[in-house]
Structure 1
Amino acid sequence: MTTTGSSWAAARRAARGDAVRTGARVGFAARGVLYLLVGVLAVRIGLTGTNEQADRGGALTEVAATSFGAVLLWALGVGLAGMAVWRLSEALFGSAGPEGDGAGKRALAGARFVFYGVSAFLVLAFALGDRGSGAGSTDRQSQDITGRLLALPGGQWWVGAAAAGFLGAGLWIAGRAALRTYRKHLTWGRMSKHQRRFMDVTGIAGGVGRGLVFGAVGYFGLKAAVTFDPKESKGMDDAIRSFAQTPVGPWLLVAVAVGLVLFGVFSFGQTKWRDV
């Protein structure tokens, strides 16, 4: 075997090793904490109209205010980094399951690697004192990025394509949750009846709530592209708040917020029962 082949085989074994699997499980826990906090903040916004930020920055601000805030911030950042490494291993070597080696699965894992890698970087930057990734950042960043893209040749098409991606992702996330496709990624056969019910309740409600938020971000991005106005673009916080402007009023916002809380709880369940 050549040196290159030997190195690749060693990398594959490492990707299948306990360290990467542990990193994935810690990553699910970190994701769960963030979604749980965002959901709780969104519930408070829906019930009281508070000016708190229901996004990553708002969640990190809540964590930083606790007695062990600095330690927890680093733990969240490291956990998300572990998730990113696991997704990278899936992109390079395939994921668990009979269909895990397909090109589509690898491409999706690569996109998730980028997403969690960026998330880990922003959380660790916050832990180091860069409050530019703090409260309200998703809304400002969304408008800033939209404005820069619109200024490029064909900018409306770039913004429209990105927004369509978010809208499609939202529909995909909600649809997969409703169809319970998450079951094939769990150790379903070894779970008890109560454990299965727990994951179904949190997985369906949580996935639909998360999908609605992604879809709302995409909708407003499309609106920004059509009107050529970056101010129409919304980050996670403003997208969540927009549900209160529907005929259902704040109650739809609260329902979506509860969904985000349940997605956080579902993520905690994945730390135990996800097949990694």
Structure 2
Amino acid sequence: MTTETKLPHPVKKTVQVMARWSYVVKGFLFCGVAVFAVRMALGLSRKEPNQRQVLETLFSQPLGQFTLLLIALALSAHTLWRIVETIEDPYQKGKSPGGLLHRFTYLLSGISYGSVAVTTFKLVFGVQSGGENSKQLWVAQLLHREGGEWLVVTAGAIMLTWALVQLKKAITQGLYKSLKIDELAYFWRGLIRLIGAIGFITQSTILAGMGYYLLRAAWMKNPRYVKSIDDLLELVGRLPNGTTWLLLLAGGIFLFGLFMFVMARYFPLKLA
């Protein structure tokens, strides 16, 4: 049995609502990245296909500052929910190695989208940010410290582990069984299963690429090997038949974004 979270009920309810909306925000961000990737593949734009670029594009629109403020709040709620979820274990993953691994990925998700929330707040209030290449900066700082390369190796191993967890979600039934979609027709349940599988395989591939390049940066002691999602997409575009591969990868990212909308509607979000 899990212990009841100590958050007051009104706060808990607010976090639950905002965390559910955070899935909508995540879906929008991933779909936006996919659109930028398609435009890059077709030579229609040179804008980097990453979440910061999506946020900056939104910021330039009417009511952009207000929209980004709502996004930042939703992502902050997502982070708080993930932290509580990691501690309270509302889905009863337990303390087995597999259960602890799942709970650790909740924390990773919270940290990841917490950093996106910070970036969003900085855009709203006009604070300069390091951008996507900030990953190279902190890796460079670690590599200049004694034993720092092992911390980079650890970060790379964590990314690869996260990739395996995402792959597990793609090929097993656990996540899909938890969705409240029993009232949907068989066709729609199957379509959701297909969208999720392709999306999570794509996400797993991207995380594995990031993890690999972190390990390579540690091995070569060169932070320039660190790759963000836009760097990986650019590398894919340079492969033989790169345009085709890039379009396929963009399609997978878009489907992952669509699955986030499904999560927003049908996932039984809990805080305790």
Runs of 4+ with deviation above 4 angstroms: none
Change (3 A) 1:57 1:215: same
Instruction: Identify which range, 262-271 or 122-131, moves more after superposition.
Output: 122-131
Q: CA deviation at 1:17?
A: 4.7
CA distance in 1, matches of 2:154, 2:84: 28
Cα offsets for 1:130-185 (capped at 9, x unmatched): 2425xxx21x1121111111111122222122112212322331342133432133
Specify the code of the residue in structure 1 equivalent to 2:26. R
* Aligned counterparts, 1:123-138, within 5 A: 123-132=120-129, 137-138=131-132
| TM, length-normalised to structure 1 | 0.86
Instruction: Identify which range, 18-27 or 52-61, moves more after superposition.
Output: 18-27
CA RMSD of aligned residues (A): 2.3
Instruction: Identify which range, 49-58 or 260-269, moves more after superposition.
Output: 49-58
Change (3 A) 1:95 1:119: farther
Q: CA deviation at 1:246?
A: 2.8
> What residue is the counterpart of 1:4 in the other structure?
none
> What residue is the counterpart of 1:185 in the other structure?
178
Q: Does 1:111 align with 2:108?
A: yes
- Structure ranking higher on relative contact order (CA contacts 8 Å, 6+ apart): 2
SS at match of 1:48: coil
Q: Does 1:146 align with 2:143?
A: no
Change (3 A) 1:178 1:240: farther
Pick one of 35, 42, 59 that aligns with 2:54: 59
Specify the code of the residue in structure 1 equivalent to 2:23. F
8 Å contact kept, 2:119–2:129: no
Q: Does 1:48 align with 2:27?
A: no
> What residue is the counterpart of 2:157 in the other structure?
164
Q: CA deviation at 1:247?
A: 3.2
Consecutive unaligned residues in structure 1, runs of 5 or more: 1-7
Specify the code of the residue in structure 2 equivalent to 1:215. A
Q: CA deviation at 1:49?
A: 6.7
Specify the code of the residue in structure 2 equivalent to 1:78. L
Instruction: Identify which range, 181-190 or 32-41, moves more after superposition.
Output: 181-190
Identity %: 22
| TM, length-normalised to structure 2 | 0.87
Specify the code of the residue in structure 1 equivalent to 2:113. Y
Consecutive unaligned residues in structure 2, runs of 5 or more: none
> What residue is the counterpart of 2:118 in the other structure?
121
Q: Does 1:18 align with 2:13?
A: yes
Q: CA deviation at 1:80?
A: 0.7
> What residue is the counterpart of 1:209 in the other structure?
202
CA distance in 1, matches of 2:76, 2:252: 25
CA distance in 1, matches of 2:75, 2:105: 17
Cα offsets for 1:13-45 (capped at 9, x unmatched): 639953232122111011111111111111111
8 Å contact kept, 2:15–2:77: yes
SS at match of 1:67: coil
Specify the code of the residue in structure 2 equivalent to 1:94. D
Q: How many residues align?
A: 263
Q: Which has the higher helix share?
A: 1
Change (3 A) 1:194 1:77: farther
Change (3 A) 1:44 1:171: farther
> What residue is the counterpart of 1:36 in the other structure?
31
> What residue is the counterpart of 1:89 in the other structure?
84
